[in-house]
Amino acid sequence: MDALDVLVDEPVGLASEPTKAEYAKMLGNLSANELQNMIDEDHGAEVVGKFSGKKYFFDEDELKVILKEIESK
């Protein structure tokens, strides 16, 4: 049997789930057309955390603020 050399002893944990503000920044990476479609067709957007399953809802007004930020770039 081969011997193992311990190089680093680090605790292991999960990365924290993004906040609603961080998800809003991620939505800002979408195209203006995609956000406008979410506003027109869905009247909002729901983001679900991959690991926690926590749901964040963005209403039309919140999406319009993000859309304005995209269009101002």
| SS3 of 6-64 | CCCCCCCCCCCCCCHHHHHHHHCCCCHHHHHHHHHHHCEEEEECCCCCCEEEEEHHHHH
Q: What is the CATH number of the domain that holds 39?
A: 3.90.1280.10
In a domain, 50, yes or no: yes
In a domain, 36, yes or no: yes
Q: What is the pLDDT of residue 1?
A: 60
pTM of the model: 0.77
pLDDT digits (tens, 9 = 90+) for 53-69: 999 999 999 999 999 99
The range of the structural domain enclosing residue 31 comes to 20-71
In a domain, 59, yes or no: yes
Q: What is the total count of domains within the chain?
A: 1
In a domain, 43, yes or no: yes
pLDDT digits (tens, 9 = 90+) for 9-64: 888 877 788 999 999 999 999 999 999 999 999 999 999 998 889 999 999 999 99
